[in-house]
Chain A
Amino acid sequence: GAGVSQSPRYKVAKRGQDVALRCDPISGHVSLFWYQQALGQGPEFLTYFQNEAQLDKSGLPSDRFFAERPEGSVSTLKIQRTQQEDSAVYLCASSLGSGATNEKLFFGSGTQLSVL
């Protein structure tokens, strides 16, 4: 596609609900990242995929957070039993290759999650 696409754009959840956030990376991009951005803060790393392999999930805040990329393209970030502190913008980014660590990232517009 033309860019990284994320859906939904906005999500309101009641505390305790499960949510699923979708990311469509740029076609052919090997690497995919999820970041969490709180209001007025910089993005915080959550997890990284190289194709379908989840190589780093050290940023996931708890075992309620789960990400997958089963076919090496679309990715889903799932949050179980949402809490108010999960409210943030969830950004997805992709990059072309996997060998160079200094590649630029292409970001989607994010999903703004509000947990009431």
Chain B
Amino acid sequence: SQKIEQNSEALNIQEGKTATLTCNYTNYSPAYLQWYRQDPGRGPVFLLLIRENEKEKRKERLKVTFDTTLKQSLFHITASQPADSATYLCALGNAGNNRKLIWGLGTSLAVNP
């Protein structure tokens, strides 16, 4: 069955360092991958989308890579700040008319001042 794995442990890093989160998947061939941020008691907020034919996407301090051979996406936050502390979710989607996203469990990131 389709399976998505994100960093199993919570990630604790020091302010100013780069946070790297992983999203691995099996038994799935996504057409695109999205990353969302979720704060406690709130819904997910969209951050970045990357398509299967793209290797890398950047937005301000965020960078996402997509390796369809390794079946993996990496999400980087450079110059991290305490305000970046949240849970980060990856979601995979198919092409065509299927609007159903498959979500990972999320990785909790804590940036310490």
Contact = CB atoms under 8 A, between A and B. Distances in A.
A113 B90 CA distance: 24
Interface string B88-108: 010101111111111111100
A102 B43 contact: no
A67 interface: no
A101 B46 contact: no
B49 to A, nearest CB: 6
A102 B49 contact: yes
B34 A104 contact: yes
- Kindly name the residue among B32, B34, B43, B105 whose own CB sees the greatest number of chain A CB atoms within 10 A: B43
A41 B99 contact: no
Contact of A101 (B89, B96, B102, B104): B96
B82 interface: no
Interface string B71-95: 0000000000000000001010111
Main secondary structure of the interface of A (DSSP, over half): loop
A107 B43 contact: yes
B49 A109 contact: no
Q: Give the interface size bracket for A toward B.
A: 20 to 34
Contacts of A48: 99-100
A18 interface: no
B61 interface: no
Contacts of A40: 105
B36 to A, nearest CB: 8
B101 to A, nearest CB: 7
Contact of B99 (A31, A43, A108): A31
16 contacts: A31-B99, A41-B105, A42-B89, A42-B103, A43-B44, A45-B100, A45-B101, A48-B99, A55-B99, A56-B98, A56-B99, A101-B99, A102-B31, A102-B34, A104-B49, A110-B43
Interface of A: 4, 31, 33, 40-45, 48, 55-56, 58-59, 91, 93, 101-102, 104-110
